[in-house]
Amino acid sequence: MGIYLNSGNDNFKIACNSEIYVDKTEMMEQTNRMINTQQRFICISRPRRFGKSMAAYMLAAYYGKDSDSSELFASYKIAKTEDYQKHLNQYNVIMLNIQDFLSVTGSVAEMLSFLQKRVIKELKREYPNIIDEDESVLSFALEDLYSRTKEGVIFIIDEWDCILRDNHYSAEDQKKYLDFIRNLLKDKAYVALAYMTGILPIKKYGTHSALNMFDEYSMTRPFEYAQFIGFTETEVKELCEEYQVDFDTMKSWYDGYDFPEVGHIYNPKSVVDSIRRKCFASYWTQTETYEALKIYIDLNYDGLKDAIVQMLAGEKIAIDYETFQNDMMTFQSRDDVLTLLVHLGYLAYYSDCQQVSIPNSEIRAEFVRAIKNCKWKEVINALEQSDRLLSATWNQDEKTVAEILDIVHSENTSILTYNDENSLSCVISIAYYNTIKEYTKIREFPTGKGFADIVYLPKKHS
């Protein structure tokens, strides 16, 4: 058992031993189907703290030689699938966390050299009569191993995109790294399966992907892996029932991602922490400061501010995500910024209408914090007036209600079409922003002979 070659099942055991664990082992029924096929290259991207590393540990525990994981998986869903035994602990697994290598080296070239040196060292120890003592190129070492043993290797690469997310690295550095991944994996018979996971989809150069052998699954196109991106609504309901937590409140706080394949998906980090701590609060957003969000929404692209304000008011915004270059530095339009926010988990994407929105209360609060530090005076003023407006509404003080709405409307005419119905609805939604705590907002509410434009219904515990 090594650090990178067949690293064992200890890390996955830790996940299984946690106070709250949701069984996602059925994902391997999908990966089993891809082994030793043209579709054996899989890249799954999802936001931070959505279980990327846990899934990587799970795959390593299931596929890796030098471990017996039969008891570990016996009670989980994967054990009931047809090919479970066929693939259990049958492969050499090379598991790499790129961030670990990057953090101890000074450049991309040094990192790639160090990575190969460390992995080859373990291969030599395991196969001393096959791997040449002076071999320094990982792909050559693996070709020699495959030619002698005919045993395929499963690659699991975590945080594969960390170089693309860091503006310290030039386009040349990025290209050098992507060329290494391509040369290590593409058209190599020794690859039984390659599973990469990170936050961003694969980097594009011009109109082409640098790693075009991979099938990609992301927050905009999760396809058959959608149910493994986060917790499904069924899983969250079961957790709420088991731990006696109010599901409606849970939904308000952490729901919002919606995939056609499975429906609603919840943020795993926030769901687990709210149950453990018996308190609904911002848990996922606390793992990164609002400064990270502020950087992107403060970019001066036409229409970006309008879009953020409308989404803050509960509206959906149409985007074209195809122009995004899949890095955190190359932005050419409002849509590029909004697409990045989808991949980071700050926005939810709806493929049926190709629109995005702020998914839930937790993230909406993060947008408000970022906006206050972006110095958007008109929006900040509207938000700050919201409590006063709600109080005036409760007290049937129509004069104060009219005055506040007029101020909010007038101050935001620079970003909203003054008399457009949707814009007026947006003004109402921004002005009554703090009703989120007590009310559920419904657009186009049926009233018998027609529809009310906006209705606020008290929440269950209001």
Q: For 160-182, how does the pLDDT look when each residue is reduced to its tens digit (9 = 90+)?
A: 999 988 778 888 898 899 999 99
The whole-number pLDDT of residue 368 equals 87
Q: Which helix (H) or strand (E) holds 402?
A: helix 398-411
Q: Sign of the C-alpha dihedral, residues 355, 360, 366, 371?
A: positive
Compute the average pLDDT of residues 105-117: 96
Residue 378 pLDDT exceeds 90: no
Q: Report the distance separating Cα 411 and Cα 417, nearest Å.
A: 12
Radius of gyration from C-alpha coordinates of the chain:
25
The string of pLDDT tens digits covering residues 21-48 is: 999 999 999 999 999 999 999 999 999 8
Q: Which residue has the higher pLDDT, 240 or 1?
A: 240
Q: How confident is the model at residue 413 (pLDDT cuts 50, 70, 90)?
A: low
Residue 76 pLDDT exceeds 70: yes
Residue 136 pLDDT exceeds 90: yes
The whole-number pLDDT of residue 424 equals 82
The whole-number pLDDT of residue 186 equals 95
Backbone angles phi, psi at 197, to 5 degrees: -140, 145
Residue 379 pLDDT exceeds 90: no
Q: Report the distance separating Cα 327 and Cα 45, nearest Å.
A: 13
Output the six-digit token pair for 131: 């791997």
The string of pLDDT tens digits covering residues 212-268 is: 999 999 999 999 999 999 999 999 999 999 999 999 889 988 988 999 889 999 999
The whole-number pLDDT of residue 414 equals 56
Least confident of 21-30, 203-212, 386-395: 203-212
Q: Which helix (H) or strand (E) holds 185?
A: helix 171-185
* Crossing angle of the two packed helices 361-373 and 290-297, in degrees rounded to 10: 70
Residue 1 pLDDT exceeds 80: no
Beta bridge partners of 155: 94, 194
Q: Coil, strand or helix: which one is 319?
A: coil
Q: Which residue has the higher pLDDT, 206 or 144?
A: 144
Q: Report the distance separating Cα 418 and Cα 266, nearest Å.
A: 36
pTM of the model: 0.89
Contact between 60 and 212 (Cβ < 8 Å)? no
Q: Which of 107, 66, 105, 187 is nearest to 118 (CA)?
A: 105
Q: How confident is the model at residue 447 (pLDDT cuts 50, 70, 90)?
A: confident
The whole-number pLDDT of residue 353 equals 92
Beta bridge partners of 217: 44
* Crossing angle of the two packed helices 334-344 and 304-312, in degrees rounded to 10: 40
The whole-number pLDDT of residue 340 equals 92
The whole-number pLDDT of residue 204 equals 67
Q: Report the distance separating Cα 283 and Cα 280, nearest Å.
A: 9
Residue 127 pLDDT exceeds 60: yes
The whole-number pLDDT of residue 199 equals 93
The whole-number pLDDT of residue 100 equals 95
* DSSP of 250-297: HHHHH--EEETTTEEEE-HHHHHHHHHHT-----SGGGS-HHHHHHHH
Sheet with 215-217, edge to edge strand ranges: 92-97, 153-158, 191-198, 41-45, 215-217
Residue 419 pLDDT exceeds 90: no
Residue 462 pLDDT exceeds 80: no
* Crossing angle of the two packed helices 268-277 and 233-243, in degrees rounded to 10: 10
Q: Sign of the C-alpha dihedral, residues 422, 428, 432, 438?
A: negative
Mean pLDDT, the chain, rounded, equals 90
Q: Report the distance separating Cα 229 and Cα 24, nearest Å.
A: 10
The whole-number pLDDT of residue 270 equals 93
Beta bridge partners of 97: 158
Residue 292 pLDDT exceeds 90: no
pLDDT cut 70: percent of the chain above it: 96
Q: Which residue has the higher pLDDT, 441 or 318?
A: 318
The whole-number pLDDT of residue 227 equals 95
Compute the average pLDDT of residues 296-309: 83
Work out whether strand 191-198 and strand 153-158 pair parallel, antiparallel, or are unpaired: parallel
Compute the average pLDDT of residues 122-130: 95
Least confident of 181-190, 291-300, 424-433: 291-300
Q: Which residue has the higher pLDDT, 241 or 294?
A: 241
The whole-number pLDDT of residue 206 equals 54
The whole-number pLDDT of residue 288 equals 65
313 contact partners, CB below 8 Å, separation of at least 6: 425, 426, 427, 429, 430, 433
Residue 156 CA, distance from chain mean position? 18
The whole-number pLDDT of residue 460 equals 76
The whole-number pLDDT of residue 326 equals 81
- For 102-106, the CB contacts below 8 A with 24+ separation are 102/162, 102/163
Residue 416 pLDDT exceeds 70: no
pLDDT cut 90: percent of the chain above it: 63
